[in-house]
Amino acid sequence: MRLSDAAISAVDALRLNKLRSALTMLGIIIGVAAVIAMVAVGGGAREQVVAQIRSLGANLLVVMPGNITQGGVRLGSGAASTLTDEDSTAIAAEVPNVQVTSPYIRGTAQLIASGVNWSTSVFGIDLGWFEAREWEVERGREFEPEEIARGAQVALLGQTVARNLYGGLDPVGQELRIRNVPFRVTGIMARKGQSTWGQDQDDVVFVPLNTARQRVLGRNLANARAVGAIYVKVREGESLAQSEDDVKALLRQRHRIQPGQEDDFSIRNLADIAATREASARTLALLLAAVAGVSLAVGGIGIMNIMLVSVTERTREIGLRLAVGARRRDILRQFLFEAAGLAAIGGAVGVVIGVAAAYIISNAAGWPLLIQPESVLLAVAFSGLVGVFFGWYPALRASRLDPIEALRHA
Amino acid sequence: MALIETERLTRLYRLGAETVQALADVTLSIGEGEFVAVMGPSGSGKSTFMNVIGCLDRPTSGSYRLEGETVSALGGDALAAIRNRKMGFVFQQFHLLDRLDAFGNVELPLIYAGMDRARRGERAAAALRRVGLGERMHHRPTQLSGGQQQRVAIARAIVNGPKVLLADEPTGALDSRTSIEIMALFQQLNRDGTTVLVVTHEADVARYASRVIRFLDGRVQGDARQAPTDAAADLAALRRAPAPEPAGAAPCG
């Protein structure tokens, strides 16, 4: 028997009992659809996380002041004012493989521009910021080194701030008041989007570090040179972990911390955060695979069940086919084709439904839609395999029937 | 060399603790072109004999040679090939597949012979024309009368040009007039060169054969040649007689 004839015969048999075929496929359809949808949505969500982490800047270490204990009261991480812009300069100069460092302080302030006001985050930064965060000025210009040094009253606006204060007008060159201190807008930053924590990174205004200290956010009373945190950007391809150790050693030395004493700072490795997220994404993927496995197995058992019924119903047909010259393997193949056909068609329908569901979900959630053609092919192929696996036993039973008994079957 | 030669053919069945002897030491020889009626009461072994001759069943002991080839020694696939190319089966219940039309049913043996579609089409159409159903090729079994269904089954049996046509009670589900029509068709096919074996318990059917083999308790009880009645002549006589036409037996072909 030719393969094409076997395939035609299988499709004929499935079409004969459309409702039953459809119901049998349902298990596979639901399984495959769920998997395709979840993998696509999960992939889209992960893609977004990766994009958010990348938006922070690649190869970054964040050095934050540590917690301090004052008279038994332990203040939280970042409460100390142990980190200074001199630390930042020292790291840049002494730790190998550091591309750039960027100390900054941040606070909140009310902005006023031509009668419109807006409350936002104010960042005091130096020139390292743009390179460390890989964040460009879209229109206008960055700060001049001279402006940073002298503490000039110049500001760069995030897109959200620019839109809220100026609407459609071009703010570059305009005047702006931050806590009633007049500033000149030198430019608008490029759009950064949401942060990993869901914050709008564009709702921000940048001023030179010294300006922020002297005129806007106020001097830290404990330490005039204190900064909120330091970004350390390590050169591409160099070990972040090594640099982390080097920075730690340097700061312990600079802060005169004795061996055995706790650090008065902490270092966060953004690659670690990314890895943690990757790991949780992997766990999710594994969970999805488990769900897929279970639903495909349930679908497969449904197919096996129906194929067994079908073999019993068609006992006489099998007897007749054997009588007119079918070999046992022809019968085996006929029923395997039917089972595999059920599963593969179910798989294909499942893919269509799954893709549609993924499209709807990612549209609603605002995630990018990520459907890999390989995963679609894999789903169809795998469900076909499920059909063959679970169709095997019924097909074997059919092929082992005794032709005489089968022909006599009522 | 005879077409079919059996020597001490024995077939035992185990029924619970008992062993039933369906065939016992059957030694027979059937020549090419014979028209044999195999007769006997229920349980006499006539159906088992036909199943063994048709390669659907294997003897417990003894030998069976078909065209000089010892068939009783062959494996499953070889037997399937013999059933496909040298045997044609006709059953009492027709055994047509309802989801296929007449053409599709007749095509079935050719599919298992691995023939391509174009040649299958020619052969199946020719076989259907030969049994007088050239006009009803695309009718489904449910749209055909009993006699027509049996003709489709006969077309399926002869489509691959078999050596032997094996019919197990082929008229058992048909009225008497249709039965004679079917027997006339068998006689025609026999005249064209096909060896025919008809298993029956009706003497009315057996008289159309040229040889009658009688079974009892698994053994050959009688084996006699006879001058066959001409079924076509019986049909012509029926047409002349004023008897009412039996329902569902419209002559075809």
Tens digit of each residue's pLDDT (9 = 90 or more) over B158-205: 999 999 999 999 998 899 899 999 999 999 999 999 999 999 988 989
Calculate mean pLDDT across residues A33-60: 75
Q: Residue A40: what pLDDT?
A: 79
Residues of A in contact with B160 (CB under 8 A): 325
| Residues A38 and A169 grouped into a single domain | no
Domain boundary residue, one of A241, A263, A285: A263
| Residues A256 and A134 grouped into a single domain | yes
Q: Nearest chain B residue to A8 by CA: give it.
A: B111
**Could you give the C-alpha distances from A269 to A53, A242, A300, in angstroms and in order?**
11, 11, 46
Answer yes or no: is pLDDT of B65 > 70.
yes
Calculate mean pLDDT across residues B58-75: 91
Residues of B in contact with A16 (CB under 8 A): 99
Answer yes or no: is pLDDT of A78 > 80.
no
Q: Which of A72-76, A259-263, A279-283, B50-54 has the least mean pLDDT? A: A72-76
Contact residues of B toward A, CB < 8 A: 51, 54, 56-57, 76-77, 80-81, 83-85, 89, 91, 95, 97, 99-100, 108-109, 111-114, 156, 160
Report CB contact under 8 Å: B112, A316.
no
Within-domain flag for A122: yes
Report CB contact under 8 Å: A320, B160.
no
Classify B4-86+162-240 by CATH class.
Answer: alpha beta
Q: For residues A275 and B37, which has the higher predicted lDDT (pLDDT)?
A: B37
Provide the residue range defining the domain that includes A114: 81-263
Answer yes or no: is pLDDT of A223 > 80.
no
Q: Which of A66-75, A224-233, B220-229 has the least mean pLDDT? A: A66-75
Report CB contact under 8 Å: A325, B109.
yes
Domain boundary residue, one of A198, A233, A263: A263
| CB A36, CB A351: distance < 8 Å | yes
Q: Which of B172, B190, B193, B192 is nearest to B228 (CA)?
A: B190
Calculate mean pLDDT across residues B100-120: 93
Q: Nearest chain B residue to A320 by CA: give it.
A: B95
Q: Which of A41-50, B21-30, B107-116 has the least mean pLDDT? A: A41-50
Answer yes or no: is pLDDT of A166 > 60.
yes
Report CB contact under 8 Å: B77, A327.
yes
Percent of chain A residues topping a pLDDT of 90: 25
Can you say how many angstroms the Cα of residue A214 is from the centroid of all Cα atoms in its chain? 40
ipTM: 0.90
Q: Mean pLDDT over all residues of chain B?
A: 91
| Residues A102 and A220 grouped into a single domain | yes
Q: Mean pLDDT over all residues of chain A?
A: 85
Answer yes or no: is pLDDT of B59 > 90.
yes
pLDDT digits (tens, 9 = 90+) for A93-117: 988 889 999 999 988 889 888 888 8
| Residues A246 and A305 grouped into a single domain | no
Answer yes or no: is pLDDT of A180 > 60.
yes
Q: What is the DSSP string of A275-312?
A: HHHHHHHHHHHHHHHHHHHHHHHHHHHHHHHHHHHHHH
Q: Residue B253: what pLDDT?
A: 42
User: Residue B245, class by beta-carbon neighbours within 10 Å (0-12 exposed, 13-18 middle, 19+ buried)?
Assistant: exposed
Tally of residues, chain A: 410
| Residues A155 and A242 grouped into a single domain | yes
Calculate mean pLDDT across residues B89-102: 92
Calculate mean pLDDT across residues A240-267: 87
| Residues A17 and A85 grouped into a single domain | no
Q: Which of A189-203, A355-369, B130-144, B236-250 has the least mean pLDDT? A: B236-250
Answer yes or no: is pLDDT of A383 > 80.
yes
| Residues A15 and A108 grouped into a single domain | no
Answer yes or no: is pLDDT of B251 > 60.
no
Confidence of residue A321 (pLDDT cuts 50, 70, 90): very high
| Residues A10 and A37 grouped into a single domain | yes
Give me the residue from A2, A330, A404 closest to B51, CB to CB. A404
Query: How many whole angstroms separate alpha carbon B189 and alpha carbon B137?
Result: 20
| CB B53, CB B64: distance < 8 Å | yes
Answer yes or no: is pLDDT of B243 > 60.
no
Q: Residue A69: what pLDDT?
A: 54
Percent of chain B residues topping a pLDDT of 70: 95
Residues of A in contact with B51 (CB under 8 A): 404
| Residues A20 and A105 grouped into a single domain | no
- Between positions 16 and 35 of A, the ones with CB within 8 A of B are 16
Calculate mean pLDDT across residues A243-261: 88
Domain boundaries, chain B: 4-86+162-240, 97-161
Calculate mean pLDDT across residues A213-235: 83
Domain boundary residue, one of A239, A263, A287: A263
Q: Residue B242: what pLDDT?
A: 62
Query: How many whole angstroms separate alpha carbon A342 and alpha carbon A186?
Result: 66
* Domain total of chain A: 2
Give, rounded to a whole angstrom, the gap between the first and last alpha carbons of chain B. Answer: 36
Answer yes or no: is pLDDT of A23 > 70.
yes
Answer yes or no: is pLDDT of A173 > 80.
yes
Q: Which residues contact A51 (CB under 8 A, 6 or more apart)?
A: A193
Most confident of A25-29, A78-82, A161-165, B136-140: B136-140
